[in-house]
Amino acid sequence: MRCPHCGACDDRVIESRTLANGEAVRRRRECTHCGLRFTSYERIEEKQFMVIKRDYRREPFDRRKIEKGVQRALEKRPVSQMSIERLVNEIEDAAAMVGRVNHEIETAVIGDLVLEKLSVLDKVAYIRFASVYRHFEDMDEFVKEIQKLTWDS
Give residue limits of the domains in the chain.
1-45, 48-152
Of 62 and 22, the one with more pLDDT: 62
**pTM for this prediction:** 0.66
Separation between Cα atoms, residue 37 and residue 71, nearest integer Å: 22
Cross-strand bridge partners of residue 105:
51
pLDDT band at 143 (very low <50, low <70, confident <90, very high): confident
* 18, β-bridge pairs: 25
Q: For the chain, what percent of residues have pLDDT higher than 90?
A: 63
pLDDT of residue 84: 93
The mean pLDDT value for 30-41 works out to 94
Tell me: the pLDDT tens digits for 61-115? 999 999 999 999 999 999 999 999 999 999 999 998 888 888 899 999 999 999 9
Does 151 score more than 90 pLDDT?
Answer: no
Banded pLDDT at 153 (limits 50, 70, 90): low
Residue 64: predicted pLDDT: 94
Segment 47-74 shows an average pLDDT of 92
| Alpha-carbon distances of 6 from 33, 64, 125, 140, 153, rounded to whole Å | 8, 23, 35, 51, 48
